[in-house]
Structure 1
Amino acid sequence: MMQSLRLRLVIGAMVAVVLILLLVGFGLSRIFSDYVAERYRTDMSAVIDQLAAGLELKDGKALLDRKPADPRFDLPGSGLYWQIVSERGEVFRSRSLWDLEIPVAALVPGDYGFSATEGPDGAQLFVHSRRILVEEPDGSRNFTLLAAFDRSVMDDALLDYHSAIGFMLALTAAVLVAAAFLQIGIGLAPLASLQSDVALVRSGLSRAVKEGGPRELRPLVGELNHLLRERETAIERARARASDLAHGLKTPLTVLLQLADNLPLAQRDLARQQIDLIRQRADRQLQSARLGVEQMAVTELAALVGKLVSVLKPVTEHRGVAWRVEIDEALTVDMDAADLAEALGNVLDNATRFAATAIHVSGRIEGERLLIDVEDDGEGVAEEALSGIAGRGVHLDDKDPGSGLGLAISQDVLTAYGGSMRFSRSSMGGLKVSLAVPRNGG
């Protein structure tokens, strides 16, 4: 099934143009062919009229005192012929027939309403005939008058016409198809403008789609703006609920921490760890409630990575870890800066903890995606364990004191934006994490 509206319109226009021009060409060909045939029939009838006017009976003998004046009748094999045959077998014929007699009884039906027979040079003749009755004192006598011409003469005339009309129809088809392309381009231009307006809304540069435009698109623009208003209302409600939940949890968790101070040392550490885990998971759920509703933003990747590296670099200085960042300044990501910072920050934080001497951060465009690669030269992760390291509570190192939620949070953030995260072995020897984000909302 064709997915392109433009392609559908183009194919429809071309099919319509071809069908119409075929019908027009067929009609014109039929009309012209009938016209030419009728002209030849009229000319042959005029020849027969001249023959009939010059034919008379005198003393029982048929005489032809006047012949058609066209000089071609006197030139053998000229392509134009006449003949008179009486019921008694008397024959008069033009010199162009030479020694050939047109066999009246052997004539066969031909095209365009003519009879057909073979001419002096073997070519087919079209024959027009008429039977007349000539009166004489002793009675009357029947004569068959024939006028003939080479079929090739008529065929050549039709061929010249069909060649000319075919060229004109092809030229007309080209003009009509070009006009159809122009019409389709003009007709679909408002859709391209609407797409640009929606892109501005998605990128956060505009809050609504511009009103106006063609009458047919105004209902769609109205529905889009109505949807955007409803979406903005839903965002505000989600933010309010998230804020209420955050305030609602803060006080009970603080009380629990204070109560934990009264517990024995072993139980106190366990209680604090569990309360901290509850706080982290609550924060993650609050973040999930916000994700996907603030995607209409564009973030400069190089600038954001620079800020994250400047924060994390001091952590690795005492170990002599070298940072290498290769990101084009023009690269942008269609994500909220805070969301991207959280997703990428967790990955970079892991790299700072496990890198031995180097961390490499790069960004590139691959098809419809933007890829951000973070690599280190640490010990890495076994191949069989790569697919599960983004799970909740999974630690890259048994001695890792973290919650095991960092990569899981990054995965959730990317998923909310239609992206993904892939793990593999780095050429540097450690872990390579590739964050993929669809371009332009993908």
Structure 2
Amino acid sequence: MISIRSKLSLWLSGLVVIATIVAIIFFESMLRQAFHDSIIARLQEDLQQVMMATEIDGNTFRIDQSQLSHFYKPVYSGRYYQLDLPEQKLRSRSLWDQRLNVKDLDKGETRAWQTKGPQNHDIQLLSIGLKSETSGLNATLTVAQDLSIGRKIFSEVYGTKLIVNLAMLMSMIMGIFIVLRQSFKPVNQMKDTLARLREGEITSIDLNSIPLELQPLASNYNELLQYSSKQIERSRNNLGNLSHGLKTPLAVMQQQVEVLGLSDPQTAAALQKQLDSVHNLIERKLAAARITGEMLPAAQMQLPKDINDLVQTLTRVHRTKTINSELAIAPDINRLPMHREDGMELLGNLLDNAFKWANSEIHIMVFYHQQQLLLTIEDDGPGVATEQLAQLTRRGKRLDEATMGHGLGLSIVKDIAEQYNITLQFEHSAKLSGLKVTLNFSG
């Protein structure tokens, strides 16, 4: 999906381009009209000048050349006049051997038009009808101007204006991108702050470093973090209180079992086994509560720190065994894409199972394979029978049911894996000959 900054850049750039095109077209139209009006105004002045130089003597018209501008003398100068009479045509010297095709007009009637003139150039013409009051003789006076020079100037002015407008357009587009880039810097800073929060480097968002528009959002996020932290702390305390509260009844039951062992050793042994299971479960939950209490509610699992913490905790829980744990993590992997609390619960269960059944070796690997993030846990324990491996991935199936007291609630692992779209795979370990669990975080 296109980002807000890109969308704004495209929209604003498009509006600027459209506005510039409209302005260029409007300017070209105004400039062309101004050029045309200036030509007509010039021809009207020329027409008045030629009319003033025109003398009517009886039945004849005569133009006094001394009263006219010198522009009419050079051949093809670009300024022309022509007086059309019924029997003759009086022309400026600048027309040389050319004639203007003029339509006869009545007295006072005017006409403006364009046509081809000398040297096949476009010319603008303006005519007016004249009439002698004494003889009643009609005539049509026409003045003309070559448009090629004016059009050249028009093209130069318009071309310069077009270049300036295009340069301004590019500057405005660049300015839009620069302004939006600077304006969205706080959003990128917010993104970096959230990344640091996720990595566990900070515990809350500093509102002083957040723009005013984003401060309400950051404040609400901080409140949510505080609420989640309190909920986690409350859950940890409740779990700790429950575990500690069970120790006294268990101690009493332990004494009763020892007394019962004097009279009924078989029953006492069975009860002792169950008491040991409850005691181990309490120890594991207390260890998990200690780990959870140090977590940030928005943080993801950090590698290798969090896995090392789990291994150290489980080593203390299973202190009766000597387990060598090897952890191998690819250099470019520093976190797992899941909430740290859920990750601790998921990996804690899997590692606790590995510690329980391993003889002396546990291998943990985190790496990329074919652009997929994988995590494997292998142990050198007895493993799981081949016919039971397929049952482990069934929904609702518990690993302890499938492997006769394995001690891990597979349903908890499955629920967390499904929440994060993690694929679980159980197989025999080729290296250690025990159980190998593979987590595919790419789904």
- Shorter-chain TM-score tier: 0.7 to 0.9
Partner SS, residue 399 of structure 2: coil
Map 1:138-153 → 2, pairs under 5 A:
138-153=134-149
- C-alpha RMSD over aligned residues: 5.0
- Residues 362 and 372 in structure 1, CA contact (< 8 A), matched pair in contact too: yes
Residue 403 (structure 1) aligned with residue 407 (structure 2): yes
Q: Distance in 1 between matches of 2:83 and 2:212?
A: 77
Residues 155 and 372 of structure 1: CA distance in aligned 2, closer, same or farther (over 3 Å): farther
- Give the structure 2 partner of residue 94 of structure 1: 92
- Residues 299 and 340 in structure 2, CA contact (< 8 A), matched pair in contact too: no
Pick one of 413, 421, 424 that aligns with 1:422.
424
Deviation at 1:169, TM superposition (A): 1.1
Map 1:131-142 → 2, pairs under 5 A:
131-135=129-133, 138-142=134-138
Deviation at 1:432, TM superposition (A): 5.7
Task: Please give the TM-score of this superposition, normalised by the length of structure 2.
Answer: 0.72
Partner SS, residue 184 of structure 2: helix
- Show CA shifts across 1:366-395 (max 9, x none): 899853234689899579927716854236
Pick one of 299, 303, 307 that aligns with 2:302.
299
Residues 99 and 206 of structure 1: CA distance in aligned 2, closer, same or farther (over 3 Å): same
Deviation at 1:40, TM superposition (A): 1.6
Residues 45 and 344 of structure 1: CA distance in aligned 2, closer, same or farther (over 3 Å): same
Residues 342 and 232 of structure 1: CA distance in aligned 2, closer, same or farther (over 3 Å): closer
- Give the structure 2 partner of residue 229 of structure 1: 226
Deviation at 1:363, TM superposition (A): 2.5
Q: Distance in 2 between matches of 1:387 and 1:101?
A: 107
- Give the structure 2 partner of residue 246 of structure 1: 243
Residue 388 (structure 1) aligned with residue 393 (structure 2): yes
Deviation at 1:218, TM superposition (A): 3.0
Deviation at 1:19, TM superposition (A): 2.8
Deviation at 1:178, TM superposition (A): 1.6
Pick one of 369, 374, 394 that aligns with 1:371.
374
Residues 305 and 46 of structure 1: CA distance in aligned 2, closer, same or farther (over 3 Å): same
- Residues 254 and 275 in structure 2, CA contact (< 8 A), matched pair in contact too: no
Q: Distance in 2 between matches of 1:154 and 1:331?
A: 73
Task: Please give the TM-score of this superposition, normalised by the length of structure 1.
Answer: 0.72
- Give the structure 1 partner of residue 108 of structure 2: none
Residue 435 (structure 1) aligned with residue 439 (structure 2): yes
- Residues 373 and 432 in structure 1, CA contact (< 8 A), matched pair in contact too: yes
Deviation at 1:121, TM superposition (A): 4.5
Deviation at 1:242, TM superposition (A): 3.0
Q: Distance in 2 between matches of 1:19 and 1:371?
A: 52
Instruction: Give structure 1 stretches of 5+ with no counterpart.
Output: 108-112
- Show CA shifts across 1:18-71 (max 9, x none): 233223323322332222222222222232222212211123211112274355
- Residues 124 and 146 in structure 2, CA contact (< 8 A), matched pair in contact too: yes
Q: Distance in 1 between matches of 2:384 and 2:280?
A: 31
Pick one of 189, 193, 202 that aligns with 1:193.
189
Moved more, 238-247 or 22-31: 238-247
Structure 1: which amino acid aligns with 2:331? D
Q: Distance in 2 between matches of 1:172 and 1:427?
A: 69
Q: Distance in 1 between matches of 2:287 and 2:415?
A: 12
When the two structures are aligned, how many residues end up with a matched partner? 421
Residues 350 and 64 of structure 1: CA distance in aligned 2, closer, same or farther (over 3 Å): same
Residue 157 (structure 1) aligned with residue 153 (structure 2): yes
Map 1:175-194 → 2, pairs under 5 A:
175-194=171-190
Residues 279 and 346 of structure 1: CA distance in aligned 2, closer, same or farther (over 3 Å): closer
Map 1:55-70 → 2, pairs under 5 A:
55-66=54-65, 68-70=68-70
Instruction: Give structure 2 stretches of 5+ with no counterpart.
Output: 106-110
Moved more, 279-288 or 153-162: 279-288
- Give the structure 2 partner of residue 110 of structure 1: none
Structure 2: which amino acid aligns with 1:115? W
